[in-house]
A and B are shown apart, each in its own frame.
Chain A
Amino acid sequence: MVSLQRLPVPRRTISSIQSIRTTRPFHTIHHRPSSSPSTRTTIQIQIQTSKPTPLTSIRPYHSTLHPRPPTHEYTNSQTAILTASLPHIPTHGFTSAALTRGARDAGFLDVSVQLLPRGAFDLVLFWLASRRGLLRGRVEAGDVFGEGAGAAEGLSVEEKLRVLVVERLKMNVDVKGVWQDALAQMSLLGNIPLSLLELHAISNDILTLAGDTAVDSTWYARRMAVAAIYASAEVVMTRDPTPDLLETEAFVRRRFEDKEVLRGKVEGVGSWVGFWGSTAVGVGRSWGLKI
């Protein structure tokens, strides 16, 4: 007991907290209550010196340390070849033949496809990244949910997710016939890491665009759920004979229902375990256990 009293007072932790506080006024936190009766709020962190942005371009998050990354990391010449190759994909598939033709259209030589070290897989990646950017652009332009920030308030996050997944899948209509090539390319052992990264990026974008701002422990679970639904719907899409991807849309709807059911089950099990756990702890304490 005597030795306990000699313990030094933890002054260092207090001083470090103060030092954090001094830097705090650098940022302000805006809580922007939404106009609808729903309790959803958008948290936005802005630097004081930056001028206020107009409402339409407000993004749900902002950080000066992490500016929005470009959807792909290709140089100008690479982008020129890849963009010119996109129209050749429906006829030639995700192959080096499409790249060669694209290079020729862009004013390059046949040999210039050496600019793309991964060859056809670069074309797949560029397709995915550019469609992802396109989806983001269309949502921000208000083409998907309608104009203005308040237009989409009628839809819940779940419904928006479903709309966005279908919207993204519909961008693949032209390349539906050759999409299995791309899936095959993505499933090659060396290409799997980049493919998974792109799958994470699309699910992350879809969730963000749907207005999902929660940063709790289900962050990973929700991204994995969207990624699983999106990836499985892509496979279904390659076998979908309907021109407007009606079957795929129905498939996506069913999967979202499944997801809800699964979430209900998991939450039920969680609350059951939590209830019995806390009950057991309470019973134990009433018996005098030091829990």
Chain B
Amino acid sequence: MSARSAWRALHYSAKRRTIQPTTPYRCFSCTRLTFEQVKPEHERMTHFGFTNVPQSEKESRVGAVFSSVASSYDNMNDLMSLGIHRLWKDHFVRSLNPGTPVANRPADAKDQGWNILDIAGGTGDIAFRMLDHATNINHDLQTRVTISDINADMLAEGRKRSLETPYYNTPRLSFVEANAEHMPHIPDNSVDLYTVVFGIRNFTDKQAALNEAFRVLKPGGVFACMEFSKVENPVFDAVYKRWNFSAIPLIGQVVAGDRDSYQYLVESIERFPSQEEFRGMIQKAGFLIPGKGYENLTGGIAAIHKGIKPVTPA
């Protein structure tokens, strides 16, 4: 009896093995294999973590990373940042102060609240915080957020979470699957606030995304970005690097069962430009820089960058 069931199991598994998955198998640990795939000589390369990949390939690779981490995203963030990412996000939203307080609204204005575009905000972390702030602090029931993400799995996670918020199925919250470098569905000069939180690091062409942000923002609109950055204190930097390169992939392996995605995460953090360089990129896109242009969080592990689209194009 047992021999028969064992035979059956083997039989079926052998059969199952012959079925090919429709999506190509993507393996991060065997980079040699992926590099053997046909690759045009002249194609432009971009970085993917510490390895260089063709530009056309980065998008799908990043997609694979985030598809694999979508479900465990929040737990992992808590573990990796020791919960500090929640403080950062709260501070980010509070400093932006989304929503117009009722008392400040001019009587004659046909104001419909702010139109906020949250790029790479698939799981809705920032979007729900901003809507909460607008509703509870500023009593603004018209401010609306469009969550845009390139990754359908992350968006699905956000949709699932929005069920538990009061904004589910209201016009205040919408989801769009789009590439932030090219958003033809969003008209020019239509967005008040453009936020991208821990996302721009993964873009293939950051400058193109910044130019697109400049296009969609209304004159006077604000580009706000929170991203990992460079730690300024060398001692703290050494500790932080050690944590990044030793602990985070390990946590990823143990908790999410995916070491390579988190290895990519820390490598992409390392490759992201410093505060000053990124400020230069924002300026290059045409934004005005308020004050110093960035605000360091926790000694520079993350930084908030802001830019304002000038009212009369300079």
Report how many residues on chain B are interfacial, defined by Cβ distance under 8 Å.
26
Report how many residues on chain A are interfacial, defined by Cβ distance under 8 Å.
21
Partner of B311, one of A75, A101, A107, A116: A107
Q: From known contacts A101-B104, A114-B96, A115-B290, infer whether A77 and B310 are also in contact, taking CB-CB under 8 Å.
A: yes
A88 to chain B, nearest CB (A): 10
B311: which A residues are within 8 A, CB to CB? 77, 106-108
A111: which B residues are within 8 A, CB to CB? 96, 98, 114, 192-193, 220-222
Whether B244 is near chain A, meaning CB under 8 Å from some CB there, is no
**Which residue, B97, B104, B218, has most C-beta atoms of chain A within 10 A?**
B104
- B309 to chain A: closest residue by CB: A112
- B311 to chain A: closest residue by CB: A107
Partner of A114, one of B100, B292, B308, B310: B308
Q: Is the CB of A110 within 8 A of B192?
A: yes
The A contact surface, by secondary structure, is helix
Partner of A77, one of B103, B106, B308: B308
The CA-CA distance from A104 to B220 in the complex, in Å, is: 10
A178 to chain B, nearest CB (A): 16
Q: Is the CB of A117 within 8 A of B290?
A: yes
Partner of A117, one of B100, B220, B288, B291: B291
A106: which B residues are within 8 A, CB to CB? 311
Hey, what's the 0/1 contact readout for B186-222 against A, CB within 8 Å counting as 1?
Answer: 0000001100000000000000000000000011111
Q: Is the CB of A104 within 8 A of B306?
A: no
Q: From known contacts A104-B106, A114-B290, A115-B308, infer whether A109 and B218 are also in contact, taking CB-CB under 8 Å.
A: yes
B86 to chain A, nearest CB (A): 22
Partner of A115, one of B98, B114, B288, B295: B288
**Cβ-closest 3 pairs across A and B:** A108-B220, A109-B220, A112-B220
- In the complex, given contacts A77-B308, A117-B291, what are 12 additional A-B residue pairs having Cβ atoms less than 8 angstroms apart? A77-B288, A96-B97, A104-B106, A109-B218, A109-B219, A111-B114, A111-B220, A111-B221, A114-B96, A114-B224, A115-B290, A118-B291
